[in-house]
Structure 1
Amino acid sequence: MLNAFRIGWIVALAFVLEGCVSSVLEVEGKGTRPVPAALLADMSRKSMSPSAPILVRIFKQESELEIWKRDRSGKFALLKTYPMCRWSGQLGPKKRIGDRQAPEGFYTVSAGMLNPNSQYYLSFNLGYPNKLEAALGYSGEALMVHGACSSSGCYALTDEGVAEIYAVAREAIKAGQESFQVQAFPFRMTPRNMVENRNDPNFSFWTDLKRGYDIFEVTRHQPKVSYCDGRYVFDTEFEGGEPSNVLAACPPAVNQPDPKVAARMQSDQVAETGLASSGRVSMAHAYADGGMHPSFRKLLKRSGEKALAKQTSLTSVPISRPDAALADPHLPGD
């Protein structure tokens, strides 16, 4: 019995010294912890079931992640917005291994992509590159949403944040949702943000993403994602079914766009034209290396890296490039 106790203690100590987790109990239990009671109460107030399907939206510039849940009306409603502790790179899509870019696009996360044993507490894989990105020759792997406050192409939400997100996703999948959609955007795709970034080389790509963004904003239904002509196409039925060649021209569509969505797009275009001609729109932001939510940046600036680590229980993984986190975003030339 004593030998068994000693062996167990040695194993536990090995896990602690490895720096990825704080205890063996955490390894065994963190991926199965229940949804917090406060979040369950929020679901109840918003007419949501813990087992209802979810959808995730990510916004780089605002450093926020949203969890949406289908409510009793059959539409998605916002459950909670989480501040993002760290993301890396610039605004724009990920294109190659080592560019430190966090992905932008539409992704599908299934049960096998949830990782309860991540070195960054808990994580789920975005599935980059998706079918479009692979056809365009983009490279990279293991791009995650995870805990901690360190990023090299991932989205870091702190351990506390990812624990809630992971639990909500796990329960939806256990209840029968085969996969959930993740929509990753450079910014909230308002007319002002679009105009501020109209000279960016990624603007045409962002215009494609905005079509999916607008569909969800108007309908509160998950957009159906297709690929052709080297771009995303949303809520479209094609003659002959889904295009097999992602880079070939899109086949003729057999359905008409939703008139409410089309009206939203037209209204935004009018607003963008007005803003562009007014001369009152500020310059787009630049980044040395990614962003950090203002709530974390304020703490980092005031009290330093150790204080931020303590505040967010980040005792094993350092904050990536804290100097860049304090500098970003900044105006070009600063």
Structure 2
Amino acid sequence: MATIRDVAQLSGVSVSTVSRVLNKSGYVNQETEHKVNLAIQTLQYEPSAVARGLASKRSRTIALILSNMMNPFFPELARAVEEVARTFGYTVFFGSSDDQADKEQAYIEIFRQRYVDGIIFSSHTLGMEEALRLNSSHIPYIVLDRAPSDEVCSVVRSNNRAGARLAVQHLLDRGCSKIAHIYGPQGIRTAQERLRGYEDIVKHLPWYSPSLLIPGNFLLDGGITAAEQMMERHPDVDGVFVGNDLMAVGVLKSLLRMGIQVPEQVAICGFDGIQLTEATEPEITTVAQPIYELGALATRLLIQKINGEAVANSLHELDVTLIPRASTRKD
């Protein structure tokens, strides 16, 4: 396989001259450029994408840092980012932070060294300090869903609070008279907004109690444990709004284990719209985020930033949709 040194030797010029021709940077006279291009064709030389990235500090790559690949929401999101990036000629590197700040920091440093052109964060652990540091280093980035502040970066997310209100109102409309909420980590704005949406609807109702709020940590096992706690505290609960679909699957599994019929005794509504909710029995009602559109919009905005287009640090909030299924159908 030919190297850049072979091209330089055949064309009778220096390696740096060949590099200038390849990267279209700096002056090279027309005759010399022709010699270099002829040598490239003769040797069938293909420049390394990494080497060209080191020379130009542009690699036609972007990075996507995800929170937890075990949650089907994130692979669905990653598919959208990868497909849209490819249409613009970009390759995507993936990393999963597993909700660990030090792991996220390690990924950021690795991607810097690889000269990625920009980063999309869909993780819990990006803090204000790191966001400001990225701003000062002029690395383009977009935050999907979970930002330290809407003022310091561009944020793409769903309307979580409105979606939670939609879910709880649906349970009331289905005849539920006492509704619990299993929530995600309150250090995450997504989880905070969904809890607030729940309280918007029920806090003034006579049966409401803070003990109806039960943590589930956005995990399947968290949903299983939370359902057990819910029934111990409030055996008369007949509806539950679950802060994400992965926990909702755990809640359903736990209730069925306890011999509690869904939806006849307890109705369940989740949040996210992942395909897994269609694979359960009964299928789970969910508030669906436009997952593909979220990833696609974040990717387009990032590429605009990479290309030097003005993208304001602002919130881009997409609407959600209630998908009623058998887990709330009490007919």
Question: What TM bracket, shorter-length normalisation?
Answer: under 0.3
**What TM-score do the two structures reach when normalised by structure 1?**
0.24
Which has more radius of gyration? 2
**What TM-score do the two structures reach when normalised by structure 2?**
0.24
Counting helix residues as a fraction of each chain, which structure ranks higher?
A: 2
